[in-house]
Structure 1
């Protein structure tokens, strides 16, 4: 059995062989390497999710590791929401510090009722489902991905899992059911938003549908958007997106 946490780390911060940098640090470089020399690329995030356009997770978020990144961002968004801040207040100049979620909160991996590994797999499935939302991963693209995965430095079990998920029809019922607590629902949405930049109507529609199925308040979603955007840097030539929502959020007591 493969290590789900390592797989999530790879999706959020794969090492680019020979550079000492992560895919999300230098997304454009990773994609160019993949185009020029697929054998040397070996970057799982570049292969599966693509990082040549849009925005890339960087800085302290990458250094934490995948599970702590998702939990930390979701927790930070929830805290800002609960404290009544406006989303725009969370987007300050410079790289924001991101900490793992506190151990005594439901956002910490050790609090997962189904176990860390099982919930980590749910987060990976959420990222892949989001990546498929715009429909660009068709049969031809899956064949290309299959050819590159064997060169990406992952074990055969992880490769089989990824290909199975890529071929699986969208099943929101199963995905949503994988989040057993309110904190996990927010983490599942956060992981999905991390996987993509909703630049198409299909991607935005998918995130909206997912948020509705998870019963997440609009004001809280605005904080997730602001927090995730603050943890990413624009790719060359891209302008930072406008932060949605400007009013004060009203906290909710489910958490």
Structure 2
């Protein structure tokens, strides 16, 4: 059975415990390090995100963000940005200027209470992250083959693998990513996870983020807060 919420943990989860029959994120990252030969610790440097990012830059979680699962991380980062934006605060990315990351309130668009709502949001966040990873065009057919082969060595279900494969093979479609947002809060979360998979020094990826923000109808001040929120809870990560 495809479990979008659990698969998202493999992309951006911290040190939380995974469900029955699955490794926790720390174990997965250690396994990915051995498999791929040189990823550092922390989400987005190993596991499935590392496979997608290849040799380009990504970001890894830092501070108390490491204690959350993937869905909670995305919601908490977007929620903090949304709060600061609505309060009219300045967008300050420095980690020292950011308070500890707090989980978003339960039963809100940032954190659906129902399992069905969580699964639907998780699926949309995964699609957004995979699309962002493809936005510079580096994941060609040969690279997809490498990713699929390496996925066989990771502890994910056949349904999870099929989902990732299908998303990788689809043409890049920013409108489809943006169209999944049912609320402004979900739009902020979709942008957040896309940003986490983007190398902001890459012109093609910067252009994709700009287009995504426009399609999601995000105010530029909110976008600045989303960048600050992500930067304040993560640090750059590159394969050594």
State if a TM-score over 0.5 links the two structures.
yes
Cα 1:76–1:82, aligned 2, differ >3 Å: closer, same or farther? same
1:131 and 2:106 equivalent?
A: no
Unaligned runs of 5+ in 2: 16-22, 40-44
Whole-angstrom distance in 1 between the partners of 2:129 and 2:179: 15
Describe the SS at the equivalent of 2:162: helix
Once the two structures are superposed, residues 8-43 of structure 1 have per-residue CA deviations (whole angstroms, 9 ceiling, x without a partner) of 00001378x8994674xx9xx955751379xxx982
Cα deviation for residue 103 of structure 1 reads 1.8
Cα 1:227–1:178, aligned 2, differ >3 Å: closer, same or farther? same
Q: Rg: which structure is higher?
A: 1
Name the count of aligned residue pairs: 227
Within the candidate set 29, 53, 60, 1:56 is matched to: 60
Describe the SS at the equivalent of 1:233: strand
Cα deviation for residue 166 of structure 1 reads 0.3
Between 160-169 and 52-61, the greater mean CA deviation after superposition: 52-61
Cα 1:196–1:160, aligned 2, differ >3 Å: closer, same or farther? same
Within the candidate set 206, 215, 218, 1:216 is matched to: 218
Match of 1:10 in 2: 10
Cα deviation for residue 228 of structure 1 reads 0.2
The TM-score, its normalising length taken from structure 1, stands at 0.78
Match of 1:244 in 2: none
Match of 1:161 in 2: 163
Whole-angstrom distance in 1 between the partners of 2:110 and 2:117: 13
The two structures, once aligned, show a CA RMSD in angstroms of 3.1
Unaligned runs of 5+ in 1: 238-255
Whole-angstrom distance in 2 between the partners of 1:49 and 1:120: 19
1:186 and 2:188 equivalent?
A: yes
On the 8 A contact 2:10/2:28 being kept in 1, the answer is no
On the 8 A contact 1:133/1:206 being kept in 2, the answer is yes
Match of 1:101 in 2: 104
